[in-house]
Amino acid sequence: MTAPSATHSWDTPDPRQLMFYTLVLVAFVAASSVPTPLYPLYQHQWHFSTAMLTLVFATYLFTLLLTLLVTGALSDHLGRRPIVLGGLILEVVAMACFWGAQGLDTLLLARALQGIATGLVTSALGAAIIESDHLRGPVLASAGPLFGTGLGALGSSILADTAPYPLRLVFIVMIGLFAWQIAGLRHRREYVVPRPGALRSMRPRAHVPVEVRATFLRVIPANIASWTLGGFSLSLGPHLVQVITGNDSAMLGGLVIFLLTATGSLSVWRLRGLPTDRILRVASTLLPTGMVIVLASVYLHATWLLLAGITVAGVGFGTGFMGSMRAVMPLAPPEDRSSLMAAFYVASYLSASLPALIAGVAIQYVGFEPVVYVYGSCVVMLSLMVLINVLRGPDVVLTR
């Protein structure tokens, strides 16, 4: 094993290390979306409400957020490999809980464990990827999670429709994948020299520095709109497909999530060289356009419109996240960037979980389609707020 170094030894790219940690990150986010196409099957088998379904999804995000706030800096003290190893072991336990689930309580436990595991490794994997290649690493760390989310949902839905044991087989596959990654982790180099202060680093810190607040408030609606749409798709997306198509195929539900996240990932990759204000303009134009097309598909019950709208919205989904982050992060002093990143993720995960949870409860009282119209209209208005700010002039957002 190569001895750890306190110097910037990652100035020499390590393609194998980069690929391994990117695959681990993709596997974690893929696992997070694997249960989504199975939600209708769980509901049918265990007869729980749509509100409880969204609670299952929100449980994952709440535990992820809390864990990330507490352990985000832990790998800077203990090293990347120990933290990633702990997360992989927890993820295997979560997959085993999904595999053996017999009711809603086990499903909630599995989602909570999965959120803890993902929150534990999020910052460690991001740092390990960038340390492996400081040029390609940031792009892969941004695009990989979006692609992995779509891949997990699509793969799970295909297995659910075409293979035996639809509520079991995909989790066996994921356990095998994570076991392989645990074995491969011992061959990875460690760049971090262990140092004291681990317990002190677990104090939650999240704030927006004064220098960044004006820009943060102007561009954060783009990020909120993106994550609000993402949260709805990952919790109620399969139900939306059933309402529009009248088809209970898990594969169609997985395809919608794949189109949204894969298009978002591709847009991050293709548009990464554009100035930040242009990226935000793309996001705040295409996200509401795609959302309007989706709402039209609900009204007309047209599958092709749903797929077209999700694809268009996917570009806005990816660029909204990338553009809002690029607008605020360079403005923060170096000593405040980790706290700003924590605040950014707090806004992101709450945007993905709370609106979806509220929608799940509202559906019980007013029905699915009215909730979709209100939800989609909120996404449109948030996006247009950013478009207005961007059109006001370059002083509103960071330009590059």
Break the chain into its structural domains and give their ranges. 14-192, 206-400
54-100 pLDDT tens trace: 999 999 999 999 998 888 788 888 888 999 999 999 999 999 999 99
* Residue type for position 240: L
Mean pLDDT: which of 25-29, 161-165, 338-342 is highest?
25-29
Phi, psi of 14 (to 5 degrees): -120, 95
Given this model, what pLDDT does residue 395 score?
Answer: 57
Q: What whole-number distance in Å separates Cα of residue 80 and Cα of residue 189?
A: 9
d(CA 159, CA 254): 11
List, for residues 263-291, the tens digit of each pLDDT value: 998 898 888 888 888 899 999 999 999 99
What is the distance, to the nearest Å, from the Cα of residue 223 to the centroid of all Cα atoms in its chain? 12
Rounded Cα gap, residues 106 and 341, in angstroms: 32
Closest listed residue to residue 25, CA positions, set 157, 155, 117 = 117
Question: What tens digit of pLDDT does each residue of 353-366 get?
Answer: 999 999 999 999 99
HEC secondary structure over the chain:
CCCCCCCCHHHCCCHHHHHHHHHHHHHHHHHHHCCHHHHHHHHHHHCCCHHHHHHHHHHHHHHHHHHHHHHCCCHHHHCHHHHHHHHHHHHHHHHHHHHCCCCHHHHHHHHHHHHHHHHHHHHHHHHHHHHHCCCCHHHHHHHHHHHHHHHHHHHHHHHHHHCCCCCCHHHHHHHHHHHHHHHHHCCCCCCCCCCCCHHHHCCCCCCCCHHHHHHHHHHHHHHHHHHHHHHHHHHHHHHHHHHHHCCCCHHHHHHHHHHHHHHHHHHHHHCCCCCHHHHHHHHHHHHHHHHHHHHHHHHHCCHHHHHHHHHHHHHHHHHHHHHHHHHHHHHCCHHHHHHHHHHHHHHHHHHHHHHHHHHHHHHHHHCHHHHHHHHHHHHHHHHHHHHHHHHHCCCCCCCC
Instruction: Tell me which range, 178-182, 188-192, 336-340, is most confidently predicted by mean pLDDT.
Output: 178-182
Class of domain 14-192: mainly alpha
CATH number belonging to domain 206-400: 1.20.1250.20
What is the structure's pLDDT at 337?
67
Task: Please tell me if the domain spanning 14-192 has the same topology as the one spanning 206-400.
Answer: yes
**Of the candidates 95, 252, 90, which has an alpha carbon nearest to the alpha carbon of residue 173?**
95
* pLDDT tier at 333, thresholds 50, 70, 90: confident
**How far is Cα 136 from Cα 27, in angstroms, rounded to an integer?**
19
CA distance 57 to 232: 10
The 10 Å Cβ neighbour count of residue 16 is 12
